[in-house]
Amino acid sequence: MNYLSLAIQIIIMLLFLVFAVFFLVQFYNIVFRGYAPFISSKKKVIKKIIEKLDLKEDGVIYELGCGNAGFLRAAREKFPRAKLIGFEYCFLPYLIAQIQNSLSKSKIIIEKKDIFKVDLSGADVLYCYLNLLTMKKLEDKIKQEGKQGLKIISYQFPLPGIEAKEVLEDGKDKIYFYSL
């Protein structure tokens, strides 16, 4: 066996290990902690939201559970001076977001952090694509920390105790718009 094939085997094993750890962590968090899995928002949904979204020039958008931060990269094109921050607890989507971020030079901040440890008071807009349980838990935090006028946009999963200002429906897609 030459050094090249040994190196390839080691790289394949390392990649396998990274994916195995990712799936184990996701499985544990989804099944035992009720966390949302890593699934990206559809491009057409993101486009629709960004088209509707209004933000002051230096406004602040948080994507809670940002995955690969596709929403924030799309927002960057419309809001070049806004502060865009994504929060993601899971290492693999966090790494993918960081790589895509540097390739696109979109100057988005990605923090590896649980969204329940994030102070929401600095945000003008929150974007969420999570799950029902997380939205339910997030609701009290949003009520306590969210500033007056905070806009919350949630794809597919409503905040159960806050009345949506608007709901956009397109087939199975639902986008909920809220304002404090």
Token couple for 48: 């629709």
Shortest spacing between CB 127 and ligand SAM, in angstroms:
7
> What does the DSSP assignment read for 110-143?
EEE--GGGS-GGG-SEEEE---HHHHHHHHHHHH
How far is residue 124's CA from residue 104's CA, in Å, rounded to a whole number? 24
115 binds ligand SAM (CB under 6 A): yes
Judged by DSSP in three states, 85 sits in strand
59 binds ligand SAM (CB under 6 A): no
Closest CB to ligand SAM among 96 and 150?
96
40 binds ligand SAM (CB under 6 A): yes
How far is residue 130's CA from residue 103's CA, in Å, rounded to a whole number? 26
62 binds ligand SAM (CB under 6 A): no
Q: Which of 143, 137, 134 is nearest to 162 (CA)?
A: 143
CA distances from 95 to 30, 49, 56, 107, 117 (A): 19, 25, 29, 15, 20
Q: For residue 72, which phi and psi values (nearest 5 degrees)?
A: -70, -35
Closest CB to ligand SAM among 79 and 94?
94
Of the candidate residues 22, 60, 83, 89, the single one contacting ligand SAM (CB under 6 A): 89
Query: Which element (helix H / strand E) includes 62?
Result: strand 60-64
Closest CB to ligand SAM among 90 and 142?
90
Binding segment toward ligand SAM, per CB under 6 A, in 52-60, 114-122, 144-152, 161-169: 114-122
39 binds ligand SAM (CB under 6 A): yes
67 binds ligand SAM (CB under 6 A): yes
Of the candidate residues 49, 50, 61, 66, the single one contacting ligand SAM (CB under 6 A): 66
Binding segment toward ligand SAM, per CB under 6 A, in 50-58, 112-120, 143-151, 161-169: 112-120
Query: Which residue ranges make up the site for ligand SAM (CB under 6 A)?
Result: 35-36, 38-41, 63, 65-67, 70-71, 87-90, 93, 114-116, 129-130, 134
